Each structure stands twice: as structure tokens, then as C-alpha cells.
């Protein structure tokens, strides 16, 4: 596995990663479930939080995949790398979009088109991810 | 494809990610790290802090009884950027140690990075879970129709606030 024995404290690090990943995966799945249960289409805040939760699920899956990596580069490594970068970007993007939305709504003078705002954030995120992969 | 050259095992870092090739020069390593990690993280943290600061500034202008009725505590909004910093600061620190200084990070740095950055779902679930609970309270107030007393001048603000929260 990637967690080679030449790395100092490898078993400790392996266990820390596994614990953090399982906690992260559990937390993000529960968060996604509770969001879907409350029907995210009713509120843009819920939509944004659901998007953050789903991104976290993918980020956790990427971290979990590293547990199964071999010593050599393989397709799993590419999938992991792509998942890691895109979910990382999506988490950051939706967290930032949520903050911007809060400030716009608190400003009261702006009443953003909710569907439009969400779609714009999503498309922007996808474009950035593609740029990372294809540039 | 460029991507395939730039995705590699972080030797000793224990996972695959978009990364500079092992034989890259220091400047290429720095540029790759800045583009893939530093810029997105710092931009997100700064924008988030600024946006919530504006939100808090605006909310403080609202009548206090209105905020307390909705259970809004403006200070709590800083939890979100705080979680971002807490989650990704070890990631940047670790990358700088590994890529820029060409040093094996200490065990503590690695452990912090794995614990905090890889545990992002957990910390987000805690923070956004709390917010979600708050939203339920707001929904409840919305459905039942609040019967708090407000001045006539505050009516429009209250309506706008409700509209915004929905």
C-alpha cells in the first residue's frame, strides 16, 4: 500500500487518516440525508448546504480510496486525484457562495434569483474543475 | 495529457493528488502548489470572512428584538470561515513544508493535516448541522406566525428579513 513502512509513524498516520475519513464520510452522509429529507428544492440555503455535503462525501471517498492504493500508479490513483481536486474546489466554492448569498440577502436591496444563483455557482465550479484537469 | 503528468503519489504523503512531477524544479513545485491549493483556499477564506463581516454589519442594524426572536446570533456566522481556516491551514502548512522546503513534515504536521483536512465532512456537519437546526426553528416560526411585538417602523424590515431567510 501507499502507506509504506518507510514513512515515520506510518501505522499511526494510516489509522488517523482512516478515522478522520470515516468520521468525515459519516458526517457528510448524515448531513446530505438530513438535507434531502427536508427537500432542498424549497430553499437555496438548503441547496447550498446539500452541495457542500455532497462535495464532502466525494472528498471523503477520495481519502478512503488511498487506503486501497498499491505502490504503483494505476487508474485508481487518477480517479482519486480527480475526485480529491474537484470535490475540494466544490466545497470551497459552495462555502464561499453561501457566504456571498448571506451578505446579499442581509443587504435586503438584492433579492437574488435563487435557481439562477445556484446554477451559476455549480457551472462556475464545474468549469474550474475542468480547467484543472484539462489545462 | 498534462493532467497525467501532474497527478502522482506524494511520496510518503500517502495519497494521490494533482501534484508536480517528482523531478520538477522548486519553482514548478511552488507554482503547482499555489495554483492547486494556496489560491483557492486563501481566496475562499478571504471572501467568506468579508461576506460574513458584511452580513453581521448589516444584521446589527436590525432591531435587537427581531434578531432574538429569530434566534439569530450574529457572532455564530464567524464559525464558517473559522472552520475553513481550521480545515485548510494544516493543508497549506504541510504542503509548504513538503514541497517548498523539501523536508519531510514532522509527524505532528502530518497528523494534523490528516485529522483536520481529511475530516472536513465531520467539521462541516457540526457547523452546518447547527445552522440547519436554527433553520428549523425559523421554519417553525414562519409556519406558526410569530406573535412578537414590533414597532410599525420595523414591519418592513421584518418582512424583508423573512423573505430573505426563505
C-alpha to C-alpha distances, B86 to A3, A115, B82, B104, B117, nearest whole angstrom: 25, 31, 6, 22, 8
User: Is A102 in contact with B51 (Cβ distance < 8 A)?
Assistant: yes
Work out the burial of residue A42: count CB atoms within 10 Å of its CB; fewer than 13 is exposed, 13-18 middle, 19 or more buried: exposed
Identify whether A5 is part of a domain. Answer: no
- Comparing CB atoms, the residue among A13, A88, A133 nearest residue B14 is A13
**A31 contacts B124? CB cut-off 8 A:** yes
- Indicate the domain borders of chain B: 2-165
ipTM of the shown complex: 0.82
pLDDT in the model for residue B148: 39
Determine the Cα–Cα distance for residues A40 and A35; give it in Å rounded to an integer: 6
Residue among B10, B11, B16 with most chain A CBs within 10 A, to mutate? B16
- Check if the beta carbon of residue B19 is closer than 8 Å to that of residue B32: yes
**A-chain residues near B110 (CB < 8 A):** 9, 13
Strand partners, B16: B9
Inspect the interface and report whether the beta carbons of A14 and B8 lie closer than 8 Å.
no
| Closest C-alpha among A28, A17, A41 to residue A90 | A28
- Three-state SS string over chain B comes to CHHHHCEEECCCCCCEEECCCCCCCHHHHHHHHHHHHHHHHHHHHHHHHHHHHHHHHHHCCCCHHHHHHCCCCHHHHHHHHHHHHHHHHHHHHHHHHHHHCCCCCCHHHHHHHHHHHCCHHHHHHHHHHHHHHHHHHHHHHHHHCCCCCCCHHHHHHHHHHHHHHC
Chain B (120-149) residues lying within 8 Å, Cβ to Cβ, of chain A: 120-126, 128-129, 131-132, 135
Q: Which residues of B touch A60 (CB under 8 A)?
A: 118, 120-121
Instruction: Count the neighbouring beta carbons within 10 Å of the beta carbon of residue B45.
Output: 20
Contacts for A131 with CB less than 8 Å, ≥ 6 apart: none
The residue of chain B nearest to residue A71, with distances taken between CA atoms, is B9
pLDDT in tens, A55-72: 999 999 988 887 776 656
CB contact under 8 A, B12 and A7: yes
Number of domains in chain A: 1
Residue B25: partners with Cβ closer than 8 Å, 6 or more residues away: none
* pLDDT at residue B75 in the model: 65
Q: Which of A34, A88, A96 sits opposite B47 (nearest CB)?
A: A96
C-alpha cell of residue B90: 494544516
State residue B70's pLDDT score. 58
What's residue A54's pLDDT? 92
Chain A residues within 8 A of B15 when measuring between CB atoms: 2, 62-63, 66, 69, 80, 84
Q: Does A4 fall in a domain?
A: no
The Cα–Cα gap between B130 and B49 comes to 19
Considering only alpha carbons, which residue of chain B is nearest residue A13?
A: B111
B146 pLDDT band, cuts 50/70/90, is: very low
Cβ of A85 within 8 Å of Cβ of B135? The answer is no
- Rounded to a whole number of angstroms, the distance from the CA of B152 to the nearest CA of chain A is 18
Domain that holds residue A55: 10-134
Distance CA B101, CA B105 (A): 9
Asked whether the beta carbons of residue B40 and residue A2 sit closer than 8 angstroms, the reply is no
The pLDDT value given to residue B147: 41
Q: Please name which of A67, A9, A6, A4 lies closest in space to residue B118, comparing C-alpha atoms.
A: A67
pTM exceeds cut of 0.80: no
pLDDT in tens, B35-75: 888 888 899 989 988 988 888 888 777 776 666 665 566 66
- Residue A2 in any domain: the answer is no
B15 — contact with chain A (CB < 8 Å)? yes
Question: Quick one: pLDDT at residue B9?
Answer: 46
Which among A20, A49, A82 is the nearest to B132, CB-wise? A49
Residues lower than pLDDT 50 in chain A: 1-2
Question: What is residue A109's DSSP assignment?
Answer: S
Residue with more model confidence, B108 or B104: B108
In a domain, A3, yes or no: no
Task: Tell whether A52 is covered by a domain.
Answer: yes
Amino acid at each position: 500500500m501507499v502507506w509504506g513502512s518507510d514513512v515515520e509513524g506510518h501505522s499511526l498516520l494510516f489509522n488517523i487518516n482512516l478515522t478522520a475519513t470515516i468520521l468525515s464520510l459519516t458526517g457528510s452522509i448524515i448531513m446530505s440525508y438530513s438535507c434531502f429529507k427536508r427537500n432542498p428544492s424549497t430553499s437555496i440555503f438548503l441547496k447550498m448546504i446539500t452541495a457542500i455535503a455532497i462535495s464532502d462525501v466525494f472528498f471523503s471517498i477520495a481519502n478512503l480510496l488511498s487506503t486501497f492504493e498499491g505502490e504503483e500508479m494505476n487508474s485508481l490513483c487518477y480517479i482519486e486525484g480527480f475526485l480529491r481536486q474537484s470535490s475540494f474546489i466544490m466545497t470551497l466554492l459552495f462555502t464561499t457562495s453561501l457566504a456571498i448569498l448571506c451578505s446579499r440577502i442581509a443587504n435586503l436591496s438584492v433579492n437574488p434569483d435563487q435557481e439562477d444563483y445556484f446554477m451559476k455557482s455549480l457551472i462556475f465550479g464545474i468549469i474550474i474543475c475542468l480547467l484543472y484537469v484539462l489545462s | 495529457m498534462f493532467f497525467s503528468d501532474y497527478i502522482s503519489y506524494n511520496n510518503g504523503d500517502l495519497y494521490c493528488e494533482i501534484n508536480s512531477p517528482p523531478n520538477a524544479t522548486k519553482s514548478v513545485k511552488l507554482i503547482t502548489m499555489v495554483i492547486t491549493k494556496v489560491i483557492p483556499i486563501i481566496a475562499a477564506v478571504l471572501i467568506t470572512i468579508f461576506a460574513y463581516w458584511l452580513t453581521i454589519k448589516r444584521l446589527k442594524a436590525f432591531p435587537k428584538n427581531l434578531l432574538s426572536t429569530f434566534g439569530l446570533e450574529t457572532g455564530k456566522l464567524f464559525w464558517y470561515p473559522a472552520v475553513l481556516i481550521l480545515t485548510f491551514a494544516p493543508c497549506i502548512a504541510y504542503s509548504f513544508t513538503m514541497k517548498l522546503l523539501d523536508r519531510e513534515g514532522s509527524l505532528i504536521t502530518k497528523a494534523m493535516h490528516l485529522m483536520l483536512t481529511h475530516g472536513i465532512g465531520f467539521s462541516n456537519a457540526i457547523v452546518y448541522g447547527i445552522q440547519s437546526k436554527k433553520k428549523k426553528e425559523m421554519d417553525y416560526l414562519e409556519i406558526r406566525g410569530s406573535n412578537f411585538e414590533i414597532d410599525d417602523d420595523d414591519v418592513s424590515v421584518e418582512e424583508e428579513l423573512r423573505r430573505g431567510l426563505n
